[in-house]
Amino acid sequence: MPLRQLSGILDDPMDTNPDHYFNRELSWLTFNERVLAEARNERYPLLERLRFLAISGSNMDEFMMIRAAGLAAQVQRKIERQSLDGRSPAQQLSDIREAVHALNRTQQNTLRDLRRLLSGQGVVISGKEKLDAQASRWLKDYFAEHIAPVITPQAIDPAHPFPFVANQGIGLLFTLRRNADNTQLFEMVLIPSGLPRFVRLPGERAVWVSIESIIARNADLIFPGFTMEGNGTFRMLRDSDIEVEEDAEDLVRYFRTAIQRRRRGKVIMLELDDGFDPAAEQLLREQLGLDDAITLKTDGLIGIAGLDCIVDEDRPDLKFEPFSPRYPERILEHDGDCFAAIREKDIIIHHPYESFEVVIDFLRQAAKDPDVVAIKQTLYRAGKQSAVIAALIAAAEAGKSVTAVVELKARFDEEQNLLWASQLERAGVQVIYGFVDWKTHAKVSMVVRREENGYRTYCHFGTGNYHPVTARIYTDLSFFTADPKLCRDAVKLFNFVTGYVEPHGTEGLAISPIDLRSTLYKLIEHEIENARQGRPAAIWAKLNALTDGRLISRLYDASKAGVAIALVVRGICCLKPGVDGLSENITVKSIIGRFLEHSRIWAFANGYAMPSHRAKVYISSADGMSRNLDRRVETLVPIRNRTVHDQVLQQVLLANLLDTEQSWILAPDGSYSRVGEVDKPFNLHRYFMTNPSLSGRGGALAEGHDVPKLALRRGAV
């Protein structure tokens, strides 16, 4: 694929002092500690605290399967490339090993506390304790009917090949003695993935028992004629990253094969319950070749992510109060006509406070409208039940030209995306898989409509995926516009992805890996120049991660020049704030709460005190990571409409800076601490749940109806 030299790659110096950066992997682990801290947050209902505990477990699983596995592969290949903070892969893996053990201990202690508190509220998570006779009888019947037919005990000896244990597979290893001849045997029972992780006993009192506990309690039914000498539960995590070969000729076939290979990746971590028989453990390690795998001995529950099913227990008193997203008045005032509302002026939807149904209705209307001639859509993650996919299929079946850019490389969604691609193709949608070596991560939808004065294009630019489930829990922005300049840029973006036609002469949109990095550099440099000239200079940004050394170096340069920089970085942050002579003008905070902060926003003062309508404001699909800036197709979208500009800068971004109840402050030593007590605490999630947005108000805004305005508080930035 012949492409010109990507902007921002050459002549791009970086601060190479390792003391000026935090380690990426350890920063991620501290993020997961903040997630886990919410499981101990006494202001939250108990089942919501259990949900955060489960999330910390699933986060850890993915980290081990991708990040730790990648480092282990580097160690195996004797790769010594150092991280920004100067650590070798082996050093990082050693640090991870120590941190993972500490985090696991905290998870198990948290679970013990939550079990006690939930039991007092009638929700019991049973461990190894004895159950009453009635419960035991019910479990024995359940085992005989639902479990025994689908499990297969397998002897572990030279005559039987060692069974394959799939990624994230859970099994039990029994140490038995045959009564007939006093012979010791090892038997393995692998738990099929189709079985539930926990089973609820009948009755008003909610008693949940893990599947491994049910099997262990009924081992006498599996092994009659044997004496039980010991048993233990284990769980395995394997390397799950998929590396795409540059010469892959058929991406669909390649990923179908790669998904199967993932199940058999190298074992990266073995979880064992603390009662595991030492001889059985040694056998397991020898058979699986686990010399260099991390072994996690757990005093409690292995696979803590599995607790998420218990959160579904019908106990509204133990959960957050239900919240229903608003539908924007602007669109309702046009009788639900999305195109009419967008023609009037740009509109931005703030999820999850405003409904994702707007995005779906935009596509549904396009599918049904006889004047719509073409739809183009990027798809990164769409979920298992997708109204977006249904609308695209309906549009194709109605005879419209529909193009879908389906990203096969979306991690852990590869299989689902293959299924969607197949369904879309059968319906007549032109499916494009984009670049072999770059992920198409941009969130763009484009509709071309025949109108009185010719063709008009309508666009949606998003910071999040076209995914109905995550849209209910992730905070994201959906920007709808008919601005001819941005719409022409969207055409160039799609031509770039579908036909490798380089997007020359864009009129506002910045696209990675072409010019998004260099655009950010120019905006930062402009703030540096303003600071040197004595004009107001500031940068506000909201990101999920900031790890790119060259971008961080530019922010350090800005701080040294006197630019006031306020960053809201939810997860990984390699930038060290508040260091004299380096970053004393930079503050970093992280927000963890009911909703997952996911939107990406940049704002530049542009010579005026922040916040002001003269600031330059952008929303983006990209984080501050090298992969987003150099190895993915991403967008940086300028916000020019005054109302939308005010909403993004003076509502969304300012509320993030003002939040005190869910915020953690990053210190120069890498530690995070909650914001202390303040006279007027502020919770941005509660604010947006109870207050309307600016651009969604429609006529009510023009008539002077109040939309609560936020004021920058001293010390917030």
Catalytic residues: 441
Q: How far apart are CA 412 and CA 423, in angstroms?
A: 19
Residue 189's nearest CA partner among 207, 174, 199 is 174
| Residues ≥6 apart with Cβ < 8 Å to 677 | none
Residue 612's nearest CA partner among 564, 645, 587, 636 is 645
Q: How far apart are CA 470 and CA 177, in angstroms?
A: 50
Reduced to 3 states, what is the DSSP secondary structure of residue 462?
Answer: strand
Phi-psi bin for 119: left (phi > 0), alpha (psi -120 to 50), beta? alpha
Q: How far apart are CA 392 and CA 366, in angstroms?
A: 9
Contact 617, 645 (CB under 8 A): yes
H and E: helices and strands count for the chain = 22, 27
Q: How far apart are CA 303 and CA 367, in angstroms?
A: 43
The residue written with tokens 């009037």 in the block is 344
Q: How far apart are CA 50 and CA 114, in angstroms?
A: 7
Contact 669, 645 (CB under 8 A): no
Q: How far apart are CA 44 and CA 35, in angstroms?
A: 13
Strands 632-638 and 663-666, sheet pairing:
unpaired
Residue 571's nearest CA partner among 583, 588, 550 is 588
Residue 267's nearest CA partner among 169, 177, 347, 343 is 169
Reduced to 3 states, what is the DSSP secondary structure of residue 596?
Answer: strand
H or E segment and range at residue 50: helix 46-63
CA 488, chain centre distance (Å): 31
Reduced to 3 states, what is the DSSP secondary structure of residue 617?
Answer: strand
Contact 175, 229 (CB under 8 A): yes
> Quick one: CA dihedral 139, 140, 141, 147, positive or negative?
positive
For 342, the token pair is 């967008």
| Cis ω for the linkage preceding 611 (within 30 of 0) | yes
Q: How far is CA 583 from CA 491, 521, 548, 605, 608, in A?
A: 40, 17, 16, 18, 22
Residue 656's nearest CA partner among 712, 578, 577 is 712
Q: How far apart are CA 442 and CA 497, in angstroms?
A: 10
Q: How far is CA 2 from CA 178, 494, 502, 527, in A?
A: 69, 17, 10, 34
- Which DSSP string corresponds to 154-212? EE-BTTBPPPP--TT-EEEEEEEEETTT--EEEEEEEPPTTS-SEEEPSSSSEEEEEHH
